[in-house]
Chains A and B, each alone.
Chain A
Amino acid sequence: MPAWLGQGLLGSEQLGWLLQGLVLTITLSAAVILTGLILGVLLGIARQQGHWPWLALPHNALRNTPLLVQVLFWYFAVGGMLPEAAKIWLNTPHVLWQWQDLSLGWPSFEFLAAWWSLSLYAMAYMAEDVRSGLNAVPRGQWEAAQAHGLRPWQVLRWIILPQAWQIARIPLLGQGLNTIKNTSLTMAIGVMELSYRSRQVDAQTLLTFQAFAVATLLYVLLNLLTQRWAQPRLEAKQ
């Protein structure tokens, strides 16, 4: 065996850690994509309509600062400003549901901070895709719909959004795939997702190549499968 491979292969315990990390990566990604998309559509519409021009400030702040800094900001800086009672509650485990040995806990503060910060970041980029989708719908569509007697929100909901969605959905899928990769930064605040687990395996076994190779492979598979699954479904609705 070449020297860079070190001694042996990953054991079942280490592979188990990596799979646990993968499950958390998938959970966090799904949660972020869901909230990020909802918020992103709302912000995209708001920005495109231009009713609240001050929205540009937070929107640009989110898009023009590194994501890692944002994650650290929400967890360490804002987390430190919370009232004492809130801090204690957020940092104590709470069981939401229990059935014999199975239990579902309230998510840890690390997970919540990761979800929140990644959602805002995803929102900022998804809003841009939604806005450009809305902008691409010809002005005449608005006017024609209004001439038919539709109220402005009805025009948006039934005429404009469906057309904007056609344009924005593939870029939005790209943002979703980006989100999966961005979850790796949350290991800085102790979220035990896939990247964190690969470092843990490396530190414990010194099988550096194997640890990061398996993690890389799992990321590639996750993103490829997500794309393979989502893209035909998004395109089929043409």
Chain B
Amino acid sequence: MKKTIALAVSLALFSGAVWADKLDEIKKAGVLRVAAFDSNPPFGFVDPQTRQPAGLDVDVAQALAKKLGVKLELQATNPANRIPLLTANKVDLVAANFTITEERRKQVEFSVPYFATGQKFIAKKGVLKKPDDIKALRVGVDKGTTQEALLREKYPQTPVVAYDDTPLAFTALRNGNVQAITQDDAKLLALLANAPDKAKYEISPFALTREYQGIGLPRGEERLAKFVNATLQELEKTGQAKQIYDRWFGPKTKAPLPRDFKIGDPT
């Protein structure tokens, strides 16, 4: 028994060390293994109707598998497991709203970003078109957050009113006490989705800060990285990237979010 395990381990190590080309391995196996969220709509979740995994990340993973001409095999993950799944070679890629950070780059590789989040604003439709429009408004924030500090730093002249939490700030916006509120766009989306009069409001088409999400890859797989980057850029060129985005965040969705980042944009 021990011998078998030792053999298996050495084989695994051996294979990893010598024929270390993941791209060929994937093609040979005919399966692309991707880690995605299963309960984080609209990025990755189980569709309650079809009981199949769905979401923006899942669509991107599907496009990658299709381009390779292999079958897609999804592995459910949570945020904490994303790096271990990659480093332990349980999956080939991670497509799970994976924010690119220098800290994470020490352990995994990232593709070019295919999604961006950031600190944005909610205001009545048509009020906020460009960042300079902020200067003329009273803006509500969550007391003591980094968003408050950043807003004061970037717009020292803007009157800022701080509330205890985001729902209270939103109430103040709906009452007209402030003309805009600012938070991370994911939080703003959730807030807007539940508002009875959400048709009157929209999320700003620009952001104060930016965070970028990319596909997570194992380190040292240059051919695989090249393939993923080229495919993502191709998705943008053919308009597929926009189609995928619109399916989850477009004007017809429950909580529309203007698309202000395209694959290949400078970061």
* Chain A residues with a Cβ under 8 A of chain B: 75-76, 79-80, 84, 87-88, 91, 93, 108-110, 187-190, 192, 196, 199-200, 202-204
A–B Cβ pairs within 8 angstroms, 14 of them: A76-B168, A76-B172, A79-B177, A80-B171, A110-B177, A190-B162, A190-B172, A192-B162, A196-B162, A200-B144, A200-B162, A202-B144, A203-B148, A203-B149
The answer, among A80, A110, A202, for a CB contact under 8 Å with B174, is A80
Contact B176–A188 (Cβ < 8 Å): no
* Chain B residues with a Cβ under 8 A of chain A: 138, 140, 143-145, 148-149, 159, 161-164, 168, 171-172, 174-179
| Complex contacts, B164 vs chain A, CB 8 Å | 188
CB proximity of B1 to chain A, nearest CB, Å: 51
| Complex contacts, A199 vs chain B, CB 8 Å | 143-144
* C-alpha gap A147/B72 in the complex (Å): 103
Contact B177–A91 (Cβ < 8 Å): yes
Contact B143–A109 (Cβ < 8 Å): no
| Complex contacts, B162 vs chain A, CB 8 Å | 190, 192, 196, 200
* C-alpha gap A84/B179 in the complex (Å): 13
Contact A190–B163 (Cβ < 8 Å): yes
* C-alpha gap A93/B172 in the complex (Å): 16
Residue of A nearest to B176 (CB): A87
The answer, among A76, A79, A87, A190, for a CB contact under 8 Å with B161, is A190
CB proximity of B25 to chain A, nearest CB, Å: 48
CB proximity of B124 to chain A, nearest CB, Å: 12
| Complex contacts, A110 vs chain B, CB 8 Å | 161, 177
CB proximity of A200 to chain B, nearest CB, Å: 7
| Complex contacts, A187 vs chain B, CB 8 Å | 143
| Complex contacts, B149 vs chain A, CB 8 Å | 203-204
| Complex contacts, A88 vs chain B, CB 8 Å | 176
* C-alpha gap A199/B145 in the complex (Å): 10
The answer, among A188, A196, A203, for a CB contact under 8 Å with B145, is A203
Contact A203–B144 (Cβ < 8 Å): yes
Known: A76-B168, A188-B164, A203-B149. A87 touches B144 (CB 8 A): no
Not counting A80-B171, A200-B148, a sample of 20 additional A-B residue pairs whose C-beta atoms are within 8 angstroms of each other reads A76-B168, A76-B175, A79-B177, A80-B175, A87-B175, A87-B176, A87-B177, A91-B138, A91-B176, A109-B177, A110-B177, A187-B143, A192-B162, A196-B143, A196-B162, A200-B144, A200-B162, A202-B144, A203-B143, A204-B149
| Complex contacts, B143 vs chain A, CB 8 Å | 187, 196, 199-200, 203
CB proximity of B251 to chain A, nearest CB, Å: 27
* C-alpha gap A133/B172 in the complex (Å): 42
| Complex contacts, A80 vs chain B, CB 8 Å | 171, 174-175
Across the A-B interface, the 8 shortest Cβ-Cβ residue pairs: A203-B144, A190-B161, A80-B175, A87-B176, A79-B175, A190-B162, A199-B144, A76-B171
CB proximity of B153 to chain A, nearest CB, Å: 10
Residue of B nearest to A79 (CB): B175
Residue of A nearest to B169 (CB): A190
* C-alpha gap A76/B171 in the complex (Å): 7
| Complex contacts, B163 vs chain A, CB 8 Å | 188-190
